[in-house]
């Protein structure tokens, strides 16, 4: 079962220590669905929903894909892909002999990356799982058009059997397209925000295709949610949420999530979205960042050890290694490493972790430990349930709604406006003028001199340079 170790953070607490009464109150808001955003707390019930029947069609679709295709292309961004990618890279960092490759697209706008995925697909049979509640987010929409076109060229009328849409139950562009084309559909639960959706079809279908035992994940998630609902300061969720809020109140505003397991990288990316979108509001919030130990100790270790004292670290550990590897003996000991000969790398890594913890604490960096037994389906499920519950409780403790994300739409609207999406023309014009550093256009008169265009500010009759380039 998941454990939290606060021994490395306790020296930085004040006399009162973490506020477990506030954690209890926040937990009550979540459990009773009486806090802000309560309509988006369905994620606490997802494992049981899956167990009661929703998992069956997901497993059937995954079996179909695994039986006929060498690859699955997952199209999505943010919560539509980070959870699944985190799980696959943690539990299946290299595909097994019979496992399809899983590619993730739609999370950026890089032509080079897109072409690289297409090149790796080659002539292999593949399927597409497009994940979007609306279907209008630019990055996945563009990528889906690309790979849908590829499927249609490859399979003709049969292409629709290779497309699986995970979207809103009844509304949105993607749902309308799926209904019209006859694609097999799965639902993004209406009472679950994207960053909390990994234990729904959003995450489970790609995970199952990759060969992860998602039934075991769901069984462990049910058990973990049950164990983490106890009302006690011994609850590791309370310990983590209360400790991080206490440290934040004492000026530690940056949290570094670290792990000594390289395959944890995209789990950390999932965690960053979960906490960043949930808590970064109203001018407050702990900034979530991540590091990969021991590698990043040789690049960021100096900053962590001796930089500004406003950061703390949360270190995720897997107590048992899935495999072993003993350091070999060297004749003559030319590299001086025979003192390690015969020792298992996992034990050496554990020692390194203890040494780093001691060094960072002495340097003024609070350390929170989070550990699970093994890097397997059970350990993954425990981490997901733990971090989701702790995020909701921590958000309520800070006084924000941990289930909305009002700031996310700002860049999307600007992007649509600058790209010329119909209906955004006026906004686009105003943005272009703002980016040029001028006031709204109606205050200017266009002037041409020797082929170069510029505006004259009518009110002050002053030339403003660089407002319009030669065309």
**Known catalytic residue: 139?**
no
What is the pLDDT, as a whole number, of residue 438? 53
In this structure, the chain runs to a length of 471
The answer to whether 290 and 258 are in contact (CB under 8 A) is yes
The average pLDDT across 251-264 equals 98
pLDDT in tens, 229-241: 999 999 999 999 9
Give φ, ψ of 210 to 5 degrees.
Answer: -75, -10
pLDDT in tens, 195-250: 999 999 999 999 999 999 999 999 999 999 999 999 999 999 999 999 999 999 99
Please state, in angstroms and rounded to a whole number, the distance separating the CA atoms of residues 45 and 225: 9
Question: Is the overall model pTM greater than 0.85, yes or no?
Answer: yes
Looking at 320, 412, 413, 434, which residue is catalytic? 412
What is the pLDDT, as a whole number, of residue 450? 41
Alpha-carbon torsion (378, 275, 191, 33), positive or negative:
positive
What is the pLDDT, as a whole number, of residue 409? 67
Q: For residue 372, what are the β-bridge partners?
A: 318
What is the pLDDT, as a whole number, of residue 432? 79
What is the pLDDT, as a whole number, of residue 457? 41
Looking at 298, 460, 461, 462, which residue is catalytic? 298
- Strands 287-292 and 254-259, sheet pairing: parallel
In this structure, of 160-174, 286-300, 455-469, the range with the lowest mean pLDDT score is: 455-469
State the CB neighbour count (10 A cutoff) for residue 281: 18
The answer to whether 386 and 269 are in contact (CB under 8 A) is no
Higher pLDDT, 85 or 469: 85
Q: Tell whether the model's pLDDT for residue 435 goes beyond 90.
A: no
The answer to whether 241 and 26 are in contact (CB under 8 A) is yes
What is the pLDDT, as a whole number, of residue 464? 39
The average pLDDT across 290-306 equals 97
Percent of the chain with pLDDT over 90: 84
3-state secondary structure of 290: strand
Nearest to 200 by CA among 388, 398, 463: 388
Place of tokens 């270190």: 315
Query: Using only C-alpha atoms, what is the Rg of the chain?
Result: 26
The answer to whether 281 and 401 are in contact (CB under 8 A) is yes
Composition of the chain by helix, strand, coil, percent to 5:
50, 15, 30
Percent of the chain with pLDDT over 70: 92
Q: Tell whether the model's pLDDT for residue 77 goes beyond 60.
A: yes
What is the pLDDT, as a whole number, of residue 15? 96
Looking at 277, 313, 382, 433, which residue is catalytic? 277
Q: What's the mean pLDDT when you consider all of the chain? A: 91
**Known catalytic residue: 277?**
yes
């Amino acid at each position: 079962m998941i454990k939290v170790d606060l021994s490395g953070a306790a020296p930085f607490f004040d006399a009162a220590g973490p506020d477990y009464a506030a954690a209890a109150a926040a937990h009550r808001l979540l459990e009773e669905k009486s806090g802000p955003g309560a309509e988006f707390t369905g994620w606490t019930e997802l494992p049981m929903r899956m167990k009661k029947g929703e998992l069956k069609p997901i497993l059937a679709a995954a079996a179909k894909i695994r039986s006929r295709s060498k690859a699955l292309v997952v199209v999505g961004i943010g919560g539509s892909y980070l959870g699944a990618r985190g799980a696959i890279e943690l539990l299946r960092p290299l595909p097994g002999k019979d496992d399809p490759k899983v590619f993730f697209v739609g999370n950026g706008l890089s032509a080079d990356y897109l072409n690289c995925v297409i090149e790796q697909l080659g002539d292999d049979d593949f399927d597409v799982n497009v994940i979007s509640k609306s279907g209008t987010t630019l990055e996945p929409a563009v990528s889906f058009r690309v790979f849908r076109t590829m499927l249609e060229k490859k399979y003709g009328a049969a292409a629709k059997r290779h497309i699986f849409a995970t979207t809103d139950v009844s509304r949105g562009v993607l749902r309308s397209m799926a209904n019209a084309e006859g694609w097999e559909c799965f639902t993004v639960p209406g009472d679950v925000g994207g960053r909390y959706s990994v234990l729904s079809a959003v995450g489970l279908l790609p995970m199952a295709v990759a060969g992860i035992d998602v039934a075991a994940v769901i069984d462990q998630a049910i058990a973990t949610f049950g164990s983490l609902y106890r009302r006690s300061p011994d609850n590791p969720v309370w310990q983590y949420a209360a400790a991080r809020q206490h440290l934040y109140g004492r000026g530690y505003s940056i949290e570094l999530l670290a792990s000594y397991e390289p395959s944890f990288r995209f789990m950390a990316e999932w965690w960053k979205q979960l906490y960043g979108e949930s808590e970064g509001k109203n001018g407050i919030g702990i900034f979530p960042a991540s590091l990969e130990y021991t590698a990043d100790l040789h690049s960021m270790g100096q900053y962590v050890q001796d930089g500004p004292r406003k950061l703390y670290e949360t270190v995720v550990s897997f107590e048992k290694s899935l495999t072993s590897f003993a350091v070999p003996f060297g004749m003559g000991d030319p590299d001086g490493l025979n003192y390690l000969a015969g020792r298992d790398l996992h034990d050496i890594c554990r020692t390194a972790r203890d040494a780093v913890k001691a060094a960072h604490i002495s340097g003024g960096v609070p350390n929170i430990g989070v550990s699970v037994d093994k890097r397997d389906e059970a350990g993954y499920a425990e981490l997901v349930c733990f971090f989701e519950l702790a995020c909701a409780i921590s958000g309520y403790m800070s006084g924000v709604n941990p289930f909305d994300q009002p700031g996310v739409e700002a860049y999307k609207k600007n992007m649509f406006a600058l790209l010329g999406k119909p209906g955004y023309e006026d906004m686009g014009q105003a943005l272009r003028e703002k980016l040029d550093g001028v006031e709204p256009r109606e205050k200017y008169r266009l002037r041409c001199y020797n082929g170069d265009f510029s505006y004259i500010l009518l009110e002050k009759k002053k030339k403003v340079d660089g407002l319009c380039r030669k065309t």
